[in-house]
Amino acid sequence: MSSTAVAPPACLRRPLVVPRRFMFGPGPSNVPPRILEAGANPILGHMHPEIFEIMSDIKSGIQYLFQTKNSMTLALTGTGHTAMECAIFNAVEAGESVLTAVNGIWGERAADMAERIGAFRTLLAGLYCISDEIIKKKKKKEPVLFFLTHGESSTGVLHPLDGIGDLCHKYNCLFLVDSVASMGGAPLCMDKQGIDILYTGSQKVLNAPPGTAPISFSDRACQKIFNRKTKPVSFFLDLSWLANYWGCDGKPSRVYHHTGPISAFYSLRESLCILAEEGLENSWERHRKVAEYFHDGLENMGLKLFVTEKSARLPTVTTIVAPPGYDWKEITAYIMKTYNLEISGGLGPSVGLVLRVGLMGCNSSKANVDMVLTALKNALKHCHKSRV
Ligand-binding annotation for 20, yes or no, is: no
Same structural domain, 256 and 349: no
Same structural domain, 332 and 364: yes
Same structural domain, 187 and 316: no
Same structural domain, 114 and 216: yes
Q: Compute the CA torsion angle 280, 243, 39, 211 (nearest 10 deg).
A: -80
Residue 341 to residue 337: CA distance in whole angstroms:
8
Point out the domain boundary residue: 276, 308, 329.
276
Q: Could you list the pLDDT tens digit for every one of the 388 residues in the chain? A: 778 999 999 999 999 999 999 999 999 999 999 999 999 999 999 999 999 999 999 999 999 999 999 999 999 999 999 999 999 999 999 999 999 998 889 999 999 999 999 998 888 876 555 555 665 555 566 899 999 999 999 999 999 999 999 999 999 999 999 999 999 999 999 999 999 999 999 999 999 999 999 999 999 999 999 999 999 999 999 999 999 999 999 999 999 999 999 999 999 999 999 999 999 999 999 999 999 999 999 999 999 999 999 999 999 999 999 999 999 999 999 999 999 999 999 998 899 999 999 999 999 999 999 999 999 999 999 999 887 6
Is the omega angle on the peptide bond into residue 28 within 30 degrees of 0, that is, cis? yes
Same structural domain, 40 and 172: yes
The alpha carbon dihedral of 175, 179, 183, 186 has a sign of: negative
Same structural domain, 193 and 47: yes
Length, in residues, of the chain: 388
Contacts of 168 (CB under 8 A, 6+ apart): 146, 174, 175, 194, 196
Question: Does 15 fall in a domain?
Answer: no
Do 151 and 129 meet the contact criterion of CB atoms below 8 Å apart?
Answer: no
List C-alpha distances in Å: 111 to 60, 191, 381: 31, 25, 42
Same structural domain, 135 and 262: yes
Same structural domain, 178 and 305: no
Domain span holding position 190: 33-276
